Amino acid sequence: MSKVVYIETSRLRKSRYNPRMVHDPDRHRILVESIRRNGVMEPLLVYQVDDGYEVLDGSRRLAAAVEAGLDTVPCIVVQGEEAPRISLAIHFSQDDLTESELVLYVERLVAEEVFQSVEEVCRFLGVSKSWFYTLRRAARLGPLDSGAPATTLAMVEKTRVEPEKKRRIVEALDNYPLPRPMLREALREIEEKPMEEPEHVLERFYWASPRRSGEDAVTASGVYEYVLRRLGGVVEFLARNGVETLWRVEIPAQDLMVVRLLWQRL
């Protein structure tokens, strides 16, 4: 039976054999709050190094304990030589590690000659080789020059559609760049209408978003084409169907709130 000892947080640091690279800030806050209330309930797994201890399992608990202002935390000390292997066994059963983290960790252990080959890692874990290669395919980075910014990609990723459709959305966004609020609407529609092609939805939203057509004019198209143009002291607002003007209003420029309301109604 392993003995639990209390070790000062100042002597503990995260192990270099911890595959975790990114964490969820919300879950971190929950953990800090829980530790502030109840203390660290589950001991950390540590091993001794020259000047202190490295934490094999529990680096998030350690970070949260430091933030909560604890001086000591409960730990179980294990043998240092086996650290990379134990870490592999522990962390591969955790669900919230991303594919890239797992793949990078396996490749790193092979590069550091802890294991001879990827096959040996798979034998150690008791899984087939194809499991690892499937994981690696999922983790492979996309092309460096994907035009969309990471925040947009994150929005697409959060959408509840199949991966194939997500890829098509990202590709279509190169042709139809949308401002963030419009993209959010478009993604919601794609989610709600799975039968519709995502490219068509994005195209429709692209044409419906207001575009500057001249120095003083903005247009958007839906069923009709709408034009908002500034003429001296008034703002002209008209709807067109082809060349035929369906209606036209002139609004004093000081009543811009009205224009905005009208524009939002469309």
Residues that bind another protein (CB under 8 A): 14, 16, 18, 20-25, 59-60, 63, 98-101, 104, 107-108, 110-111, 141-142, 144, 149-151, 153-155, 157-158, 180
CB 73 within 8 A of CB 40: yes
DSSP class of residue 186 equals: H
Q: Which residues pair with 13 in a beta bridge?
A: 54
Question: Judged by CB, which is closer to another protein: 90, or 153?
Answer: 153
Find the shortest distance in angstroms from Cβ 210 to another protein.
Answer: 20
Nearest CB to another protein, comparing residues 15 and 209: 15
User: CB of 253 within 8 A of CB of 235?
Assistant: yes
User: Which 3 state secondary structure label does DSSP give 162?
Assistant: coil
Residue with Cβ nearer another protein (110 or 234): 110
Q: How far is the CB of 265 from another protein (least distance, A)?
A: 27
Nearest approach in angstroms of CB 12 to another protein is: 14
CA-based diameter of the chain, in Å? 86
Angle subtended by helix axes 99-111 and 83-91, to nearest 10: 160
Compute the least distance from the CB of residue 76 to another protein, in Å. Answer: 21
Return the structure tokens found at 207. 């044409």
Write down the least CB distance from residue 148 to another protein, Å: 10
Whether residue 210 contacts residue 196, with contact meaning beta carbons closer than 8 Å, is answered with no
Non-local CB neighbours of 135 within 8 Å, separated by 6+ positions: 99, 102, 103
Nearest distance, CB of residue 212 and another protein, angstroms: 17
With contact defined as beta carbons under 8 Å apart, do 15 and 83 qualify? yes
